[in-house]
Structure 1
Amino acid sequence: MKQKHASLKVRDFDLEVKAVEDGGTFKGYGSVFGVVDSYGEIVAPGAFAESLAEIKAKGRPVPVLWQHRSGQPIGVWDELAEDTKGLFGTARLLIEDLALAKEAHALMRVGAVSGLSIGYWVRESSYDEKTGVRTLTKLDLVEISLVTFPANDEARVDAIKMKLAHGQLPTISEFERLLREAGFSKTQAAVVANRGLPHLLRSESEGAGEKQAAIERMNSMLDGFSLPSL
């Protein structure tokens, strides 16, 4: 079953320190093909091809952001291309011009900043109801950030909130994982997700008014959502 939708999301990967050079240049994968991530999603080869072609045609480089903060660009991606493994790129931090870029570079060299995270819109995907896995087949690349911790829980919560903001409800598997990350046991998360969310998903199919009401209820719940202190 294919679906087209717009959903601003993030996707995290570890960054190897050995890929960081003295002049502020570093290399790494912003996405890897064929691996099911914590959202229950998998990126298909070719998913970035159309977006990369559009970016090249516009002549506008993809920015390196600090922690997904749009007001804090610290460099640019000079090269981005798909290979057999995933989306690979070479980036350049503006360490001679920006103090934050210089700080980020120093933190990367010692391993205190250890992740890459891409921000993207989902243009097209397909969902396998049997496995609960969504395959992302066409993505719009927006930015690639340096992050302190890859795959952090707050980013996952924010990603689901962004999905709701664009008129979509999470899948049952996404919601169950969110509950697990919040500290619920596997059994508790399954009960809450499978008893509560299906009603909202049914409402989505009943019309625009019911769908909006369902989204508002989910947003209200997430507004009070807090992760447990460790």
Structure 2
Amino acid sequence: MTLRFAGYAAVFDVVDRAGDVARPGAFAGAGLVPLLWQHRGGAVGVLSAVAEDARGLRVEGVIEDPALADAVRCGAVAGLSVGYRPVTVRRGARRELLRVMLVEVSLVAVPMQRLARVETCGSPAEAGAQAG
């Protein structure tokens, strides 16, 4: 069974485990990219929305892999992460990501950025009922 989800793949101005910090505008203009598991292999679902808002890079999509959908549904997997290529960075106390090329978004067991999380999920039928 598939699972619809939404959350933040990156949150602005929060230092990640590698010491990087994404700044507002870093993902501006990013389009749809593959949804992977742990940054590896083939797609495990499809993203329907990828866009910056005031908080960070918000994503929405559907997880098509049944085992992973179950793990997200029960809360065993809740992390999100971005795969990117840096385009413009500023170095100081931290590496500030000012502009990146988004390559993929992954569901992960342990996110590099602690606030990058799935925030809502439900079946496609439930998501449609919640929207209406």
Shorter-chain TM-score bucket reads 0.7 to 0.9
- Structure with greater proportional strand content: 2
Equivalent residue letter for 1:115? G
The alignment status of 1:63 with 2:34, answered yes or no, reads yes
Take 1:37 and 1:80, find their aligned partners in 2: how far apart are those partners? 20
Tell me by how many angstroms 1:114 deviates: 2.3
Pairing 1:174-189 to 2, within 5 Å after superposition: none
Divergent runs of 4+, >6 A:
none
Q: Secondary structure at the match of 1:107?
A: helix
Runs of 5+ unmatched residues, structure 2: 114-132
**Residue matched to 2:125:** none
1:140 equivalenced with 2:101 (yes/no): yes
Segments of 5+ residues of structure 1 without an aligned counterpart are 1-21, 56-60, 95-100, 153-230
Q: Deviations over 1:163-208 (max 9, x none)?
A: xxxxxxxxxxxxxxxxxxxxxxxxxxxxxxxxxxxxxxxxxxxxxx
Aligned counterpart, 1:78: 48
- Deviation string 1:5-31 (CA, Å, 9 cap, x unpaired) is xxxxxxxxxxxxxxxxx8511001011
Decide whether the 8 Å contact of 2:83 with 2:102 is kept in 1: yes
TM-score (ref. length: structure 1): 0.46
Q: What percentage of residue pairs aligned between the two structures are identical? A: 42
Q: TM-score, normalised by structure 2?
A: 0.78
Higher helix share: 1
2:90 and 2:112 map into 1 onto residues whose CA distance is 23
1:1-230 residue pairs with structure 2 within 5 A? 23-50=2-29, 52=30, 55=31, 61-69=32-40, 71-94=41-64, 101-128=65-92, 132-151=93-112
What do you get for the CA RMSD once the two structures are aligned?
Answer: 1.8
State how many pairs are aligned: 113
